[in-house]
Amino acid sequence: MTYIGAATSRVDGLAKVTGAAKYAAEVRPAGLVHGAVITSTIARGQLKRIDVSEVLKVKGVLDVLTHLNRPEISADDQSYKDDVAPDGSPFRPLYDDRILFDGQPIALVVAETLEVAQYAASLVQVEYDRGPHITDVHRRMKEAPALEPTDATGADAYAPPNPRGAAEKAFAAADVRHQGEYHVPIEHHNPIELFASTAVFEGNGKLTIYDKTQGVQNVQRYVSRVLKMKPEDVRIMSPFMGGGFGSGLRPQYQVILAGLAALALKRSVRVVLTRQQMYGLGYRPAMVQRIELGAKADGTLEAVMHDAVTVTSQYERFYRQETGWSGLLYRCDNAKYAHRIAPLDLVTSCDMRAPSAATGVYALECAMDELAVALGIDPLELRLKCYSDRDQHNGKPYSSKNLRECYHQGAEAFGWGKRNPEPRSMRDGSDLVGWGMATGVWEALQVPIAVRIALTSNGHAEVSCATSDIGTGTYTIMAQVTADMLGLPLENITVKLGDSTLPQSPVEGGSWIAASVANGIATTADAVRRELLGLASKMPDSPLAGLVLEEVKLADGKIVSQQDPARGISIADAMRHGGVDRIEQEKATRFAKDETQAHNVHSAVFAEVKIDEELGIIRVTRVVSAVAAGRILNPKTASSQILGGVVWGIGMALHEETLIDHGFGRVMNANIAEYHVPVNADIHDIKVIFVDEPDQSINRLGIKGLGEIGIVGVAAAIANAVYHATGTRVRDLPITLDKLDRP
């Protein structure tokens, strides 16, 4: 059987549904105690006094750690930089008395039970010297510093691309022009699993920390530097993760607090953040974007100009490539970009699913819809008119781009040809019906990685890598690829991941792990096959004598000739004759940088909304997402990825918004009762189509990655459908019924 490309159920599914899978807050080492975090109630200033006298009287309280009494930590702020940290001076938990943002951890109460720790934490008395703060991006708009365009070397991949042509002149001369300002609020990740760390104090002074993270080796390096420990004395474990979406790319502060407490008390300590405290972590930055499009009367794009302002903290400069998507997707000779970042008294913003693309493409695709209306052209026709087979920034052809087929198959499945273009023209009883569409785009990325395979003579194999499975199905695809590469049944494969002692892996994010680890497995499997061939070739009268590596394959528990599968030797016989019970190989895989081609994934999203004309209630009743993303390893888990992205896109369009009281600099809806996300009743029919897109030039298995593309374009398609239904254009997310009532 061939497993790659087969719709395979999750190999870790049974462990998850039976509770056998243990998450960071579920392991129970002997002598475990619990920590409760105390956070600041001001956005900027200094700690004047922390009175813990009443806390220490509570039975069961073991200690209260503050900046005054915690174990020694690194004084060098650059020690706090992790693998994905932006420029600046990273936040240092419990380092000093400065308050940088509301919700900053200022103390940790440690007690024998969680309940005692939480109660005792409520008794801590804190006094502050409050300083002035700014948390409103609109107050920083004029003074927000601009990023310089990327230079010819591409040293800053997140800076705006260099302009091309004469965009302002072309815009002024265009037959039809569109100008619009689009707003995206701060959004928080809200994964089901809270951030948690269980620090196990080993008898030899070492730490093993079970942590919720998207990168165990990233956390291991971070913790060892901050706590001034030898790297080999810190082990990070994260075999299972209940959702990350970018929030777990960087180490969160609870891992340091748990480690500090374990070292101070010489006991195992667990620290779990509350849902409210999760809002004191990173978030999708708020964005204010201005798009200007100029076109000929026939729809040919003449000018694209995209300006953006995004939010960061006062102490770090986080930003992503927000505006470049506008100049990438559509053929246009004149383009200009600008990106400014507004430092606020908030925690640093961070990556959230499809960072920059989810927000930047939202503005672009809404603007394209508005241009189509101004031109009197069907929105799909306009996109086909402006279609480009080359990356417009550098002129490189795509290694593969089947977006035309995404448009075709998506439109056909949706029934786009039946659309009446007039706003408010389509109805279903008392509901207004709107149809909208948008394009999605993301990068096809791959990163250096190492994989170890151990094959035993009884036909079982263990494949291991330090990568994470953040719910995407990494366990399953690793098992599938290994089974195919070694010619073994899927049930004979064991997968180990999420352990910092395993072979090297970067953080899991950016949709790069599937392509990277799958090709890493193929590289290591080659080494296993080579060793097996060496053993088999030495057997008396070997049918494989004289064959080279490229001429043999592993299939059905044998090593056989590619040309004549009848010429073969069982793996067990080859290993037994060679006198080995186990073959173990570990290889690193690096991907050559292709300077001749561009690599991206694409999608076409079609959405239907039905809106109660009297109440303004919006329902997204249908979505079709057609995706071209190279070779699909597992249609079942891949479809789930796209479905999840579409659901989040619905949330982005209609529900999600972090509300800040700027007087206090505090999040007002720091819970999942008032921070609205889609629920079952909000989700109706979602159809996922995978468009065939073979691409052997990107890597040997032709894989591109799917994690991010599912959300890109969804919010725009829904916003465009809302306009089609109502005739009201809403440019600031989320789209709520009060905004539909605007004159």
Q: What is the pLDDT of residues 336-372, one digit of tens each?
A: 999 999 999 999 999 999 999 999 999 999 999 999 9
User: How far apart, in whole angstroms, are the C-alpha atoms of residue 260 and residue 12?
Assistant: 33
**pLDDT of 152 higher than 50:** no
Each residue of 377-423: pLDDT tens digit?
999 999 999 999 999 999 999 999 999 999 999 999 999 999 999 99
Quick one: tokens of 599?
A: 């690599």
Quick one: tokens of 209?
A: 């920390």
Give the 3-state DSSP-derived string for 19-73, with helices as H, strands as E and coil as C: CCCCCCCCCCCCCCEEEEEEECCCCCEEEEEEECCCHHHCCCEEEEECCCCCCCC
Cβ neighbours of residue 540 under 8 Å, at least 6 residues apart?
none
CA dihedral 535, 537, 539, 540 (to 10 degrees): -170
Across the range 294-319, mean pLDDT stands at 98
Distance of CA 132 to the CA centre of its chain: 34
Strand 176-184 and strand 287-295: the pairing is antiparallel
Residue 316 confidence (pLDDT) = 98
Cβ neighbours of residue 199 under 8 Å, at least 6 residues apart?
207, 208, 209, 255, 258, 259, 261, 262, 268, 269, 270, 271
Across the range 484-511, mean pLDDT stands at 98
Assess whether 586 carries a catalytic annotation.
Answer: no
Please answer whether residues 511 and 708 qualify as being in contact, where contact means their C-beta atoms are separated by less than 8 angstroms.
yes
Percent of the chain with pLDDT over 70: 99
The segment(s) of the chain belonging to CATH 3.90.1170.50 are: 17-133+191-278
pLDDT grade, residue 569 (50/70/90)? very high
Residue 531 confidence (pLDDT) = 98
Strand 449-456 and strand 125-130: the pairing is unpaired
Residue 513 confidence (pLDDT) = 98
Across the range 68-80, mean pLDDT stands at 97
**pLDDT of 154 higher than 90:** no
Residue 1 confidence (pLDDT) = 75
Each residue of 723-738: pLDDT tens digit?
999 999 999 999 999 9
Percent of the chain with pLDDT over 90: 97
Instruction: Just give the CATH number of 167-186+284-342+353-444+596-740.
Output: 3.30.365.10
Quote the mean pLDDT of the chain.
97
- Total length of the chain: 743
Each residue of 633-657: pLDDT tens digit?
999 999 999 999 999 999 999 999 9
Each residue of 416-466: pLDDT tens digit?
999 999 999 999 999 999 999 999 999 999 999 999 999 999 999 999 999
Each residue of 308-325: pLDDT tens digit?
999 999 999 999 999 999
The segment(s) of the chain belonging to CATH 3.30.365.10 are: 167-186+284-342+353-444+596-740, 447-589
Strand 335-344 and strand 301-313: the pairing is parallel
User: How far apart, in whole angstroms, are the C-alpha atoms of residue 221 and residue 177?
Assistant: 51
Enter the pTM of the model.
0.97
CA atoms within 13 A on the CB side of 137: 21
Each residue of 689-742: pLDDT tens digit?
999 998 989 999 999 999 999 999 999 999 999 999 999 999 999 999 999 976
What is the topology classification, in CATH, of domain 447-589?
Aldehyde Oxidoreductase; domain 4 (3.30.365)
Distance of CA 13 to the CA centre of its chain: 22
Residue 742 confidence (pLDDT) = 61
Residue 356 confidence (pLDDT) = 97
Element (H, E) at 508: none
Each residue of 579-627: pLDDT tens digit?
999 999 999 999 988 889 999 999 999 999 999 999 999 999 999 999 9
pLDDT grade, residue 151 (50/70/90)? low
User: How far apart, in whole angstroms, are the C-alpha atoms of residue 541 and residue 580?
Assistant: 20
Instruction: Just give the CATH number of 17-133+191-278.
Output: 3.90.1170.50
Beta bridge partners of 280: none
Gap between the terminal Cα atoms of the chain: 62
Residue 595 confidence (pLDDT) = 87
